[in-house]
A = this chain, B = another copy of it.
Amino acid sequence: MAADNFLHDDKLREECGVFGIFGHEDAAPLTVLGLHALQHRGQEAAGIVSYDGEHFHSERRLGLVGDQFTKKSVVDRLKGHAAVGHVRYSTTGETAIRNVQPLFADLSGGGFALAHNGNLTNALKIREELIASGAICQSTSDTEVIMHLVARSRKQRLVERLIDALLQIEGGYALVAVTNKKLIGARDPLGLRPLVLGKLDGAYVFASETCALDIIGAEFVREVDNGEVVVVTKDGIESHRPFPPRTPRPCLFEYIYFARPDSIVGGRSVYEVRKNFGAQLAIEAPADADVVVPVPDSGVPSAIGYAQQSGLPFELGIIRNQYVGRTFIEPEQRIRKLGVKLKHSGNSAAIRGKRIVLIDDSIVRGTTSIKIVQMMYEKGAREVHMRVACPPITYPDFYGIDTPEKAKLLASHHSLEEMRQFIGVESLAFLSVDGIYRALGYDGRDATNPQFADHYFTGDYPTPLVDQDDNQPHRQLSLLAEAS
Protein backbone atom coordinates (compact mmCIF):
# COMPACT_ATOMS: atom_id res chain seq x y z
CA MET A 1 0.00 0.00 0.00
CA ALA A 2 1.42 3.33 -0.95
CA ALA A 3 2.55 5.71 1.75
CA ASP A 4 0.49 8.35 0.07
CA ASN A 5 -2.77 6.59 0.57
CA PHE A 6 -2.72 7.94 4.06
CA LEU A 7 -5.74 10.17 3.83
CA HIS A 8 -7.87 7.25 2.83
CA ASP A 9 -6.20 4.66 4.95
CA ASP A 10 -7.43 6.12 8.13
CA LYS A 11 -11.12 5.90 7.40
CA LEU A 12 -13.57 3.25 8.44
CA ARG A 13 -14.62 1.05 5.57
CA GLU A 14 -18.02 -0.11 4.53
CA GLU A 15 -18.11 -3.61 3.28
CA CYS A 16 -20.64 -3.34 0.53
CA GLY A 17 -23.42 -1.83 -1.49
CA VAL A 18 -26.32 -3.73 -3.01
CA PHE A 19 -28.77 -3.13 -5.82
CA GLY A 20 -31.65 -5.11 -7.31
CA ILE A 21 -34.28 -4.57 -9.98
CA PHE A 22 -37.19 -6.65 -11.23
CA GLY A 23 -39.32 -6.32 -14.31
CA HIS A 24 -37.29 -3.95 -16.47
CA GLU A 25 -35.93 -4.76 -19.89
CA ASP A 26 -32.77 -2.80 -19.09
CA ALA A 27 -32.20 -4.64 -15.82
CA ALA A 28 -28.47 -5.17 -16.32
CA PRO A 29 -27.43 -1.70 -17.55
CA LEU A 30 -29.54 -0.13 -14.81
CA THR A 31 -27.78 -2.32 -12.26
CA VAL A 32 -24.43 -1.22 -13.66
CA LEU A 33 -25.45 2.39 -13.13
CA GLY A 34 -26.86 1.72 -9.68
CA LEU A 35 -23.66 0.00 -8.59
CA HIS A 36 -21.64 2.84 -10.03
CA ALA A 37 -23.54 5.27 -7.82
CA LEU A 38 -22.76 2.99 -4.87
CA GLN A 39 -19.10 2.63 -5.77
CA HIS A 40 -18.03 4.60 -2.68
CA ARG A 41 -19.32 1.68 -0.58
CA GLY A 42 -16.82 -0.78 -2.06
CA GLN A 43 -14.14 -0.47 -4.73
CA GLU A 44 -12.52 -3.86 -4.68
CA ALA A 45 -14.91 -5.87 -6.76
CA ALA A 46 -18.36 -5.93 -8.25
CA GLY A 47 -20.78 -8.54 -9.47
CA ILE A 48 -24.13 -8.82 -11.15
CA VAL A 49 -26.43 -11.80 -11.59
CA SER A 50 -29.35 -11.48 -13.97
CA TYR A 51 -32.22 -13.80 -14.79
CA ASP A 52 -33.75 -13.99 -18.23
CA GLY A 53 -36.73 -16.23 -17.52
CA GLU A 54 -34.76 -19.36 -18.23
CA HIS A 55 -31.13 -18.96 -17.22
CA PHE A 56 -29.21 -16.99 -14.66
CA HIS A 57 -26.16 -15.06 -15.89
CA SER A 58 -23.34 -14.02 -13.66
CA GLU A 59 -20.45 -11.61 -14.09
CA ARG A 60 -18.10 -10.95 -11.23
CA ARG A 61 -14.97 -8.87 -11.54
CA LEU A 62 -12.28 -7.36 -9.43
CA GLY A 63 -12.09 -3.62 -9.98
CA LEU A 64 -14.46 -0.73 -10.47
CA VAL A 65 -17.91 -0.97 -11.98
CA GLY A 66 -17.05 1.68 -14.53
CA ASP A 67 -14.03 -0.29 -15.69
CA GLN A 68 -15.42 -3.79 -15.60
CA PHE A 69 -19.07 -3.56 -16.56
CA THR A 70 -19.23 -1.05 -19.36
CA LYS A 71 -18.38 -3.25 -22.31
CA LYS A 72 -21.12 -4.29 -24.64
CA SER A 73 -20.06 -7.92 -24.36
CA VAL A 74 -20.46 -7.88 -20.59
CA VAL A 75 -23.78 -6.10 -20.58
CA ASP A 76 -25.08 -8.29 -23.37
CA ARG A 77 -24.28 -11.45 -21.47
CA LEU A 78 -26.35 -10.24 -18.52
CA LYS A 79 -29.64 -10.95 -20.19
CA GLY A 80 -32.99 -10.61 -18.54
CA HIS A 81 -35.51 -8.46 -16.80
CA ALA A 82 -34.28 -9.04 -13.26
CA ALA A 83 -30.86 -8.51 -11.71
CA VAL A 84 -29.06 -8.13 -8.42
CA GLY A 85 -25.68 -6.49 -8.02
CA HIS A 86 -23.05 -5.88 -5.43
CA VAL A 87 -19.98 -3.75 -4.84
CA ARG A 88 -17.52 -4.96 -2.30
CA TYR A 89 -14.75 -3.70 -0.10
CA SER A 90 -12.69 -6.51 1.30
CA THR A 91 -12.39 -6.42 5.05
CA THR A 92 -9.77 -9.07 5.19
CA GLY A 93 -7.23 -7.90 2.69
CA GLU A 94 -8.00 -11.01 0.72
CA THR A 95 -8.81 -10.15 -2.86
CA ALA A 96 -10.44 -13.33 -3.99
CA ILE A 97 -12.86 -13.73 -6.80
CA ARG A 98 -14.53 -16.56 -4.93
CA ASN A 99 -15.63 -14.07 -2.30
CA VAL A 100 -17.11 -11.64 -4.79
CA GLN A 101 -20.89 -11.45 -4.66
CA PRO A 102 -23.62 -12.13 -5.65
CA LEU A 103 -23.31 -15.81 -4.89
CA PHE A 104 -25.39 -18.22 -6.89
CA ALA A 105 -26.51 -21.74 -6.10
CA ASP A 106 -28.85 -24.31 -7.49
CA LEU A 107 -31.44 -25.02 -4.84
CA SER A 108 -34.15 -27.62 -5.04
CA GLY A 109 -36.61 -24.90 -5.99
CA GLY A 110 -34.34 -23.48 -8.69
CA GLY A 111 -31.56 -20.96 -8.97
CA PHE A 112 -30.96 -18.44 -6.19
CA ALA A 113 -28.60 -15.46 -6.34
CA LEU A 114 -27.84 -13.50 -3.20
CA ALA A 115 -25.96 -10.27 -2.47
CA HIS A 116 -25.47 -8.94 1.01
CA ASN A 117 -24.17 -5.87 2.81
CA GLY A 118 -23.33 -6.24 6.45
CA ASN A 119 -21.85 -8.70 8.86
CA LEU A 120 -23.33 -11.51 10.88
CA THR A 121 -22.32 -11.78 14.50
CA ASN A 122 -22.95 -15.50 14.68
CA ALA A 123 -21.69 -16.57 11.27
CA LEU A 124 -18.68 -18.45 12.57
CA LYS A 125 -20.79 -20.44 14.98
CA ILE A 126 -23.28 -21.36 12.27
CA ARG A 127 -20.49 -22.12 9.87
CA GLU A 128 -18.95 -24.57 12.30
CA GLU A 129 -22.29 -26.30 12.70
CA LEU A 130 -22.81 -26.42 8.96
CA ILE A 131 -19.41 -27.93 8.34
CA ALA A 132 -19.88 -30.42 11.14
CA SER A 133 -23.04 -31.58 9.44
CA GLY A 134 -21.42 -32.03 6.05
CA ALA A 135 -21.71 -28.70 4.29
CA ILE A 136 -18.80 -27.50 2.21
CA CYS A 137 -17.84 -23.87 2.55
CA GLN A 138 -15.94 -22.59 -0.45
CA SER A 139 -15.75 -18.96 0.55
CA THR A 140 -15.29 -17.07 3.76
CA SER A 141 -18.32 -14.88 3.27
CA ASP A 142 -21.41 -14.63 5.41
CA THR A 143 -23.40 -14.77 2.21
CA GLU A 144 -22.48 -18.41 1.77
CA VAL A 145 -23.68 -19.10 5.32
CA ILE A 146 -27.07 -17.56 4.56
CA MET A 147 -27.24 -19.58 1.38
CA HIS A 148 -26.57 -22.81 3.21
CA LEU A 149 -29.33 -22.01 5.69
CA VAL A 150 -31.75 -21.32 2.86
CA ALA A 151 -30.73 -24.55 1.13
CA ARG A 152 -31.21 -26.58 4.29
CA SER A 153 -34.52 -25.13 5.35
CA ARG A 154 -37.37 -27.64 5.37
CA LYS A 155 -39.85 -24.98 4.33
CA GLN A 156 -41.48 -25.24 0.98
CA ARG A 157 -41.51 -21.81 -0.60
CA LEU A 158 -38.32 -19.93 -1.15
CA VAL A 159 -39.41 -16.84 0.75
CA GLU A 160 -40.24 -19.01 3.72
CA ARG A 161 -36.90 -20.67 3.48
CA LEU A 162 -35.12 -17.32 3.36
CA ILE A 163 -37.09 -16.17 6.39
CA ASP A 164 -36.16 -19.42 8.08
CA ALA A 165 -32.54 -18.56 7.46
CA LEU A 166 -32.89 -14.96 8.64
CA LEU A 167 -34.37 -16.16 11.91
CA GLN A 168 -31.15 -18.04 12.61
CA ILE A 169 -28.70 -15.26 11.91
CA GLU A 170 -27.73 -12.26 14.04
CA GLY A 171 -26.11 -9.03 13.06
CA GLY A 172 -26.49 -6.26 10.54
CA TYR A 173 -27.51 -6.95 7.00
CA ALA A 174 -29.27 -5.61 3.97
CA LEU A 175 -29.70 -8.21 1.31
CA VAL A 176 -31.16 -8.56 -2.14
CA ALA A 177 -31.86 -11.86 -3.82
CA VAL A 178 -33.25 -12.93 -7.15
CA THR A 179 -34.96 -16.21 -7.95
CA ASN A 180 -36.72 -17.41 -11.06
CA LYS A 181 -39.88 -15.65 -9.90
CA LYS A 182 -38.99 -12.99 -7.39
CA LEU A 183 -36.77 -10.20 -6.27
CA ILE A 184 -36.37 -10.03 -2.50
CA GLY A 185 -34.98 -7.27 -0.32
CA ALA A 186 -34.49 -7.68 3.41
CA ARG A 187 -33.07 -5.72 6.30
CA ASP A 188 -31.93 -6.86 9.72
CA PRO A 189 -34.28 -6.50 12.71
CA LEU A 190 -32.67 -3.23 13.85
CA GLY A 191 -32.20 -1.75 10.42
CA LEU A 192 -28.48 -1.42 11.04
CA ARG A 193 -27.62 -1.58 7.36
CA PRO A 194 -29.56 0.63 4.93
CA LEU A 195 -31.87 -0.43 2.11
CA VAL A 196 -34.34 1.64 0.15
CA LEU A 197 -37.11 0.83 -2.28
CA GLY A 198 -37.67 2.72 -5.50
CA LYS A 199 -39.66 2.44 -8.68
CA LEU A 200 -38.81 3.04 -12.32
CA ASP A 201 -41.18 2.58 -15.24
CA GLY A 202 -43.28 0.29 -13.06
CA ALA A 203 -40.31 -1.85 -12.03
CA TYR A 204 -39.28 -2.07 -8.39
CA VAL A 205 -35.72 -1.33 -7.35
CA PHE A 206 -33.74 -1.98 -4.18
CA ALA A 207 -30.58 -0.07 -3.35
CA SER A 208 -28.34 0.68 -0.41
CA GLU A 209 -28.78 4.43 -0.94
CA THR A 210 -31.09 6.81 -2.73
CA CYS A 211 -28.24 8.10 -4.90
CA ALA A 212 -28.53 4.82 -6.80
CA LEU A 213 -32.17 5.61 -7.49
CA ASP A 214 -31.27 9.13 -8.60
CA ILE A 215 -28.72 8.00 -11.17
CA ILE A 216 -31.30 5.91 -13.01
CA GLY A 217 -34.08 8.40 -12.53
CA ALA A 218 -36.08 6.08 -10.27
CA GLU A 219 -38.61 7.45 -7.85
CA PHE A 220 -37.92 6.92 -4.15
CA VAL A 221 -40.78 4.90 -2.62
CA ARG A 222 -39.70 4.30 0.94
CA GLU A 223 -37.03 2.70 3.08
CA VAL A 224 -37.31 -1.01 3.68
CA ASP A 225 -38.21 -1.20 7.36
CA ASN A 226 -36.04 -2.80 9.97
CA GLY A 227 -36.80 -6.51 10.04
CA GLU A 228 -38.85 -6.35 6.87
CA VAL A 229 -38.65 -8.78 3.98
CA VAL A 230 -40.02 -7.22 0.80
CA VAL A 231 -40.89 -9.58 -2.02
CA VAL A 232 -41.32 -8.29 -5.57
CA THR A 233 -43.06 -10.43 -8.16
CA LYS A 234 -44.75 -9.64 -11.42
CA ASP A 235 -47.90 -9.08 -9.38
CA GLY A 236 -46.38 -6.33 -7.25
CA ILE A 237 -44.81 -6.25 -3.83
CA GLU A 238 -45.68 -7.95 -0.59
CA SER A 239 -44.17 -7.34 2.77
CA HIS A 240 -43.22 -9.90 5.42
CA ARG A 241 -42.30 -9.01 8.96
CA PRO A 242 -41.02 -12.23 10.51
CA PHE A 243 -39.41 -10.60 13.53
CA PRO A 244 -41.07 -9.21 16.67
CA PRO A 245 -41.56 -5.44 16.28
CA ARG A 246 -38.60 -3.38 17.47
CA THR A 247 -37.57 0.22 17.41
CA PRO A 248 -35.01 0.65 14.63
CA ARG A 249 -31.44 1.59 15.42
CA PRO A 250 -29.81 2.52 12.13
CA CYS A 251 -26.06 2.97 11.98
CA LEU A 252 -24.86 6.53 12.69
CA PHE A 253 -21.82 6.09 10.45
CA GLU A 254 -23.97 6.26 7.35
CA TYR A 255 -24.49 9.92 8.29
CA ILE A 256 -20.94 10.49 9.40
CA TYR A 257 -18.98 9.03 6.54
CA PHE A 258 -20.45 6.23 4.44
CA ALA A 259 -23.44 7.58 2.58
CA ARG A 260 -22.99 9.93 -0.33
CA PRO A 261 -23.83 13.53 0.63
CA ASP A 262 -26.65 13.67 -1.91
CA SER A 263 -28.37 10.57 -0.48
CA ILE A 264 -31.41 10.72 1.78
CA VAL A 265 -30.99 8.37 4.75
CA GLY A 266 -33.80 7.88 7.27
CA GLY A 267 -35.60 10.82 5.72
CA ARG A 268 -32.69 13.17 6.25
CA SER A 269 -30.35 14.72 3.67
CA VAL A 270 -26.90 13.41 4.46
CA TYR A 271 -25.41 16.71 3.32
CA GLU A 272 -27.65 18.66 5.70
CA VAL A 273 -26.89 16.30 8.57
CA ARG A 274 -23.15 16.72 8.03
CA LYS A 275 -23.50 20.48 7.92
CA ASN A 276 -25.47 20.22 11.16
CA PHE A 277 -22.67 18.15 12.70
CA GLY A 278 -20.30 20.97 11.77
CA ALA A 279 -22.61 23.65 13.09
CA GLN A 280 -23.18 21.76 16.36
CA LEU A 281 -19.43 21.31 16.63
CA ALA A 282 -18.97 25.05 16.24
CA ILE A 283 -21.39 25.58 19.11
CA GLU A 284 -19.80 22.97 21.33
CA ALA A 285 -16.20 23.69 20.46
CA PRO A 286 -15.62 27.16 19.05
CA ALA A 287 -12.07 28.11 18.11
CA ASP A 288 -10.28 31.41 18.20
CA ALA A 289 -9.18 31.18 14.57
CA ASP A 290 -9.07 32.90 11.21
CA VAL A 291 -10.24 30.31 8.71
CA VAL A 292 -12.03 26.97 8.51
CA VAL A 293 -10.21 24.33 6.42
CA PRO A 294 -11.79 20.99 5.51
CA VAL A 295 -9.89 17.76 5.13
CA PRO A 296 -11.04 16.89 1.59
CA ASP A 297 -13.36 15.54 0.47
CA SER A 298 -15.34 14.04 3.32
CA GLY A 299 -14.77 16.93 5.71
CA VAL A 300 -16.19 19.55 3.39
CA PRO A 301 -19.89 19.57 4.40
CA SER A 302 -19.06 19.70 8.14
CA ALA A 303 -16.58 22.47 7.48
CA ILE A 304 -19.21 24.45 5.62
CA GLY A 305 -21.54 23.98 8.60
CA TYR A 306 -18.82 24.99 11.04
CA ALA A 307 -17.94 28.05 8.97
CA GLN A 308 -21.51 29.18 8.61
CA GLN A 309 -22.22 28.75 12.32
CA SER A 310 -18.99 30.38 13.46
CA GLY A 311 -18.86 33.12 10.85
CA LEU A 312 -15.29 32.22 10.00
CA PRO A 313 -14.34 32.07 6.32
CA PHE A 314 -14.24 28.67 4.61
CA GLU A 315 -11.00 28.12 2.69
CA LEU A 316 -9.46 25.30 0.63
CA GLY A 317 -6.27 24.91 2.62
CA ILE A 318 -5.64 21.43 1.20
CA ILE A 319 -5.68 20.66 -2.53
CA ARG A 320 -6.36 17.11 -3.63
CA ASN A 321 -4.59 15.74 -6.71
CA GLN A 322 -7.50 14.43 -8.73
CA TYR A 323 -5.28 11.97 -10.62
CA VAL A 324 -4.12 9.97 -7.66
CA GLY A 325 -7.19 8.00 -6.73
CA ARG A 326 -6.40 4.95 -8.74
CA THR A 327 -2.82 5.28 -9.82
CA PHE A 328 0.35 5.08 -7.81
CA ILE A 329 -1.08 1.97 -6.22
CA GLU A 330 2.26 0.37 -5.60
CA PRO A 331 4.92 2.75 -6.79
CA GLU A 332 8.49 1.62 -6.95
CA GLN A 333 10.26 2.19 -3.66
CA ARG A 334 12.44 5.04 -4.93
CA ILE A 335 9.34 6.97 -5.94
CA ARG A 336 7.46 6.13 -2.78
CA LYS A 337 10.31 7.33 -0.64
CA LEU A 338 10.39 10.65 -2.40
CA GLY A 339 6.72 11.17 -2.95
CA VAL A 340 4.96 11.75 0.32
CA LYS A 341 2.67 14.34 -1.23
CA LEU A 342 1.25 12.40 -4.15
CA LYS A 343 -2.30 12.80 -3.02
CA HIS A 344 -2.69 16.19 -1.39
CA SER A 345 -0.79 19.35 -1.00
CA GLY A 346 -1.12 22.24 1.36
CA ASN A 347 -2.37 25.46 -0.15
CA SER A 348 -0.05 27.99 1.32
CA ALA A 349 -1.99 31.00 0.09
CA ALA A 350 -5.04 30.01 2.13
CA ILE A 351 -3.31 29.31 5.41
CA ARG A 352 0.02 31.11 5.66
CA GLY A 353 0.14 33.11 8.87
CA LYS A 354 -3.37 32.08 9.78
CA ARG A 355 -4.95 30.32 12.71
CA ILE A 356 -6.91 27.49 11.11
CA VAL A 357 -9.73 25.24 12.25
CA LEU A 358 -9.16 21.92 10.55
CA ILE A 359 -12.37 19.91 10.15
CA ASP A 360 -12.37 16.15 9.64
CA ASP A 361 -15.35 13.81 9.71
CA SER A 362 -13.75 11.30 12.07
CA ILE A 363 -10.48 10.08 13.53
CA VAL A 364 -9.71 6.38 13.56
CA ARG A 365 -6.02 5.71 14.17
CA GLY A 366 -4.95 9.33 13.99
CA THR A 367 -1.95 8.58 11.81
CA THR A 368 -3.34 10.59 8.95
CA SER A 369 -4.22 13.54 11.11
CA ILE A 370 -0.60 13.84 12.18
CA LYS A 371 0.55 14.13 8.59
CA ILE A 372 -2.09 16.62 7.59
CA VAL A 373 -1.43 18.82 10.58
CA GLN A 374 2.28 18.72 9.85
CA MET A 375 1.59 19.72 6.25
CA MET A 376 -0.47 22.68 7.50
CA TYR A 377 2.37 23.93 9.66
CA GLU A 378 4.91 23.43 6.86
CA LYS A 379 2.73 25.54 4.62
CA GLY A 380 2.72 28.35 7.14
CA ALA A 381 -0.31 27.87 9.38
CA ARG A 382 0.23 29.80 12.60
CA GLU A 383 -2.08 27.67 14.73
CA VAL A 384 -3.99 24.48 13.92
CA HIS A 385 -7.15 23.74 15.86
CA MET A 386 -8.60 20.39 15.01
CA ARG A 387 -12.34 19.76 15.21
CA VAL A 388 -13.79 16.32 14.51
CA ALA A 389 -17.41 16.07 13.41
CA CYS A 390 -18.17 12.90 15.39
CA PRO A 391 -17.40 11.59 18.88
CA PRO A 392 -14.23 9.65 19.66
CA ILE A 393 -14.34 6.11 18.21
CA THR A 394 -13.54 3.77 21.04
CA TYR A 395 -15.12 0.43 20.12
CA PRO A 396 -14.99 -1.74 17.03
CA ASP A 397 -18.01 -2.49 14.89
CA PHE A 398 -19.18 -6.02 14.06
CA TYR A 399 -22.06 -5.24 11.69
CA GLY A 400 -20.27 -4.65 8.44
CA ILE A 401 -17.93 -1.74 9.10
CA ASP A 402 -14.30 -2.59 8.79
CA THR A 403 -12.96 -1.17 12.07
CA PRO A 404 -9.46 -1.82 13.30
CA GLU A 405 -9.24 -3.79 16.52
CA LYS A 406 -9.79 -1.77 19.67
CA ALA A 407 -6.10 -1.39 20.42
CA LYS A 408 -5.57 0.53 17.21
CA LEU A 409 -8.38 3.00 17.75
CA LEU A 410 -6.66 6.15 18.91
CA ALA A 411 -9.48 7.26 21.17
CA SER A 412 -9.82 3.90 22.92
CA HIS A 413 -6.59 4.27 24.83
CA HIS A 414 -5.76 7.96 24.83
CA SER A 415 -7.21 10.88 26.71
CA LEU A 416 -8.25 13.97 24.80
CA GLU A 417 -5.09 15.77 25.87
CA GLU A 418 -2.95 12.81 24.84
CA MET A 419 -4.63 12.81 21.46
CA ARG A 420 -4.04 16.54 21.08
CA GLN A 421 -0.35 16.06 21.73
CA PHE A 422 -0.19 12.98 19.49
CA ILE A 423 -1.73 14.83 16.58
CA GLY A 424 0.24 17.95 17.36
CA VAL A 425 -2.44 20.64 17.38
CA GLU A 426 -3.13 23.71 19.50
CA SER A 427 -6.52 22.40 20.44
CA LEU A 428 -8.62 19.34 19.67
CA ALA A 429 -12.32 18.73 20.11
CA PHE A 430 -14.81 16.06 19.07
CA LEU A 431 -18.52 16.39 18.62
CA SER A 432 -20.28 15.02 21.74
CA VAL A 433 -22.55 11.97 21.61
CA ASP A 434 -25.50 14.09 22.62
CA GLY A 435 -24.38 16.66 20.10
CA ILE A 436 -24.63 14.18 17.28
CA TYR A 437 -28.18 13.32 18.33
CA ARG A 438 -29.02 17.02 18.55
CA ALA A 439 -27.72 17.59 15.07
CA LEU A 440 -30.10 14.83 14.01
CA GLY A 441 -33.07 16.59 15.57
CA TYR A 442 -33.29 15.03 19.01
CA ASP A 443 -32.72 16.58 22.40
CA GLY A 444 -29.98 14.08 22.91
CA ARG A 445 -29.39 10.39 23.16
CA ASP A 446 -32.25 8.38 24.70
CA ALA A 447 -30.14 6.22 26.98
CA THR A 448 -32.86 3.66 27.65
CA ASN A 449 -33.84 3.33 24.05
CA PRO A 450 -31.20 4.85 21.85
CA GLN A 451 -32.46 6.10 18.50
CA PHE A 452 -29.35 4.91 16.59
CA ALA A 453 -26.61 2.33 16.71
CA ASP A 454 -23.70 4.18 18.30
CA HIS A 455 -21.65 1.39 19.83
CA TYR A 456 -18.39 2.67 18.26
CA PHE A 457 -18.74 5.66 20.59
CA THR A 458 -20.55 4.12 23.54
CA GLY A 459 -19.82 0.39 23.56
CA ASP A 460 -23.58 -0.19 23.68
CA TYR A 461 -23.86 -2.98 21.08
CA PRO A 462 -27.41 -3.38 19.88
CA THR A 463 -27.23 -7.18 19.43
CA PRO A 464 -25.47 -10.07 21.16
CA LEU A 465 -22.01 -10.76 19.75
CA VAL A 466 -22.06 -14.53 19.55
CA ASP A 467 -18.84 -15.05 17.67
CA GLN A 468 -17.03 -12.62 19.96
CA ASP A 469 -18.18 -14.27 23.17
CA ASP A 470 -15.91 -17.24 23.12
CA ASN A 471 -12.23 -16.75 23.42
CA GLN A 472 -11.28 -16.79 19.77
CA PRO A 473 -12.42 -13.40 18.63
CA HIS A 474 -10.86 -13.59 15.18
CA ARG A 475 -11.06 -17.30 14.68
CA GLN A 476 -11.01 -17.93 10.99
CA LEU A 477 -12.19 -21.34 9.97
CA SER A 478 -11.13 -20.97 6.43
CA LEU A 479 -7.55 -21.89 5.91
CA LEU A 480 -7.44 -20.72 2.36
CA ALA A 481 -5.74 -17.64 1.05
CA GLU A 482 -6.47 -16.96 -2.57
CA ALA A 483 -5.66 -14.17 -4.92
CA SER A 484 -6.81 -14.32 -8.46
Which of A's residues lie within 8 Å of B, judged by CB? 26, 29-30, 32-33, 36-37, 39-40, 43, 49, 54-61, 64-67, 70-72, 74-77, 97-98, 103-108, 110-111, 127, 131-132, 134-138, 144, 147-148, 151-153, 180, 211, 214-216, 260-262, 264, 269-272, 297, 300-301, 304, 307-308, 313-316, 319, 321-335, 338-339, 341-342, 345-350, 477-484
Contact = CB atoms under 8 A, between A and B. Distances in A.
Contact of A136 (B151, B301, B478): B151
Contacts of A32: 335
Contacts of A484: 58-61, 97
A304 B316 contact: yes
29 contacts: A29-B332, A29-B335, A30-B338, A33-B342, A36-B323, A36-B324, A39-B323, A40-B322, A56-B481, A57-B481, A57-B482, A59-B483, A65-B327, A70-B332, A75-B334, A77-B483, A110-B479, A111-B478, A111-B480, A211-B345, A215-B339, A215-B345, A216-B339, A261-B347, A269-B349, A271-B319, A271-B347, A271-B350, A304-B313
A77 B65 CA distance: 27
A190 to B, nearest CB: 26
A342 to B, nearest CB: 7
Contact of A297 (B57, B322, B350): B322
A341 B36 CA distance: 11
Given A322-B40, A323-B64, A347-B271, A480 B332 contact: no
Q: Which 10 A-B pairs have the closest CB atoms?
A: A66-B327, A269-B349, A134-B152, A105-B136, A58-B482, A70-B331, A111-B479, A72-B332, A66-B328, A39-B323
Nearest to A271: B349
A269 to B, nearest CB: 3
A258 B328 CA distance: 23
Contacts of A331: 66, 70
